[in-house]
Every structure is written in structure tokens, then in C-alpha cells.
Amino acid sequence: MTKLLVTLVCLFIAPAAAYDFSWSPGSGSAPASDAWLSYFNNLDGGKADVQADIKECSQSVPNIWAATFDDGPMDSTNVVLDYFRTAEMKTTFWVIGLNVIQSPDILNKAFKEGHQIGIHSWSHPDLTTLSEAQVVSELVYGAKAIYDVTGKVPKFFRPPYGTMSDSVRTIAAKMGLRAVIWTEDSEDWRYAGTSEMSKVPASFQSWMDQGKSNEISLEHDFKAETVAVVGQCMDIVRKAGKKLVTISECIGEGDAYQNPRLLAFFESGQFAGQSPTPSSSQNYDPAASWPQTTYAASESQSETSYMGIR
């Protein structure tokens, strides 16, 4: 009888997925590749459909709210997944490639549960400070990590710190990518490790009291303190009559992963890990390198920074 029970248990336990991240360039920034830049610059004769950054939801569907979470996946991401599973609603995770290769099963879990996955670069640099070749590499390696885990190539990315420029926007468009920023910043990362985490749900309550709707909010799933208030924040939004949705639902897009340009790049054999070195065994904490500066939105500048350092 015991042997039978053991056999049945084994049959119902799915084996852990095996991932090959031998292409990883290591725990630092992504190495620049002039060849990759040339590939995308020459794709379709260098043409690109450069679109404005997405900063809010469509107004065609009322009472929706796109909650988004940056900088995972990490063990703490499971707290967010547990909440949304119980609520039977979906969200969007903007993931860092370095963290994906350390916690691939958590990313796969989020994807299989129907949440949207977007690129948040490989190592979380300010893309506006990099060369075009470096920007390409940061986005390629970030996309590759997601692709190897989910089998999908996103068509949306969130620039670290929310900083964008015409140059980054154009090269990203050549890669089939469009930037998604945010309208409401919880600043949860700022209060982690302090006694002021209550300011995060207070911000959500303030937004609801102001009658805000169809917005994109920013939180982080990389610290125990930030995810501890997620349930309270999301309950505030739901009690205000809002439905929590993914970014694709927010803007009325049917497919978050239809990116033929990046997919063709990976299938062409152009991708090759550049002298990979062993990766760090620890998750990458982008907050460790965040500048203590707050950026203000400015539509009139060609180098545009949006509401924060994320």
C-alpha cells in the first residue's frame, strides 16, 4: 500500500523544468554587441514604427486599473501571485534578466497563471546613459531570459527608472518593443526597511478618493516589505469598483508577445552568449544602485524621465 501511495504521489509531482542559461554574460551589465545593433539597424531597411510610450490605460473600458510590479522575480513574488490567484485577477511583472535566471520557476509560475511578463532589461541600468549597442544588449539579454523560460518574446518593455530618450525609443522600436511607463507611483521601495510602509496603501486610498481610474500603478515585488502591503493596496482598488488588469488588457492589445522582430533574431542564430562567465548565485537588487533623485515628467524634453527612480 505504501509503495502504491508513493507511486501515485510521484505521478502527480511535475518534475522541475531544466533551463540552460550557459549564455548568461554573468552578474554585471550586458556586454555591448555592434553586430546585434547592426542587425536591428538593417532590419527592414532600418525602418521602425516608433510609437509614444504607454502611460495610461485606454478609456474605452471604464473602471480598470493596471497594477504592475517591477524588478523580480524573487521569492517574494510568490506573495503577489498568491493574492492575484485568490482574487482571480491578473497583473503584469516587469522582470530583470539577472533575476529571471536565478528564479526561473517563479517566472514560469507567473506566466502559466496568466500574468503578463515584460522586459525590464538585463541588469537595470539607466538606458539613456548607454550607447545604442549597449541598449540593444540589455534588451536582448532580458528578452532571452524570458524567452528561454516561457517560450514567448514580449513586445513591451519598461525602462529602468522610467527614463526614456528618442534614441532609446527608436532602437527599441527596431527591436519590436514599445515602452510602458506608469501614471501612479507607490514609492514602496522608498519605505522598505522603515516604519512608513503604511504610506503605500495610503497613496492608493488617495488615488481612489480622487476618483482616478484607468491608471497604471507601480509597485515592486523584490522585498518582503513591499509585497506585504500588496493585498491591502489591491483591496483598496477593488473596493473602489476597479477591475485589476494586465497592461495588454489596459490598452486593448490582444497579444503581449507577438514580437516577430526579436523572435526572428533569436531564430536566425544571431544570438550567441558573449564569453559567458558564471552568474552570481544571489538575486540582483536594483535598489542598491538607485540614485536618490526624483525625476519629474516633462513632455517637452527629448530626454524624458517619468515620475521616479524605478
Catalytic residues: 70, 220
> Greatest CA span in the chain, whole angstroms?
73
Q: Is 83 helix (H, G, I), strand (E, B) or coil?
A: helix
Which residue has 503584469 as its cell numbers? 92
Among 229, 243, 238, CA closest to 196: 229
Distant-in-sequence, close-in-space partners of 135: CB < 8 Å, separation ≥ 6 = 127, 167, 168, 171, 172
DSSP secondary structure, 186-254, as one string: --HHHHTTSS-TTHHHHHHHHHHHTT--SEEEEEE-SSHHHHHTHHHHHHHHHHTTPEE--HHHHHT-S
Q: What is the DSSP letter of 22?
A: T
Task: Round to whole Å and give the CA distance between 253 and 156.
Answer: 11
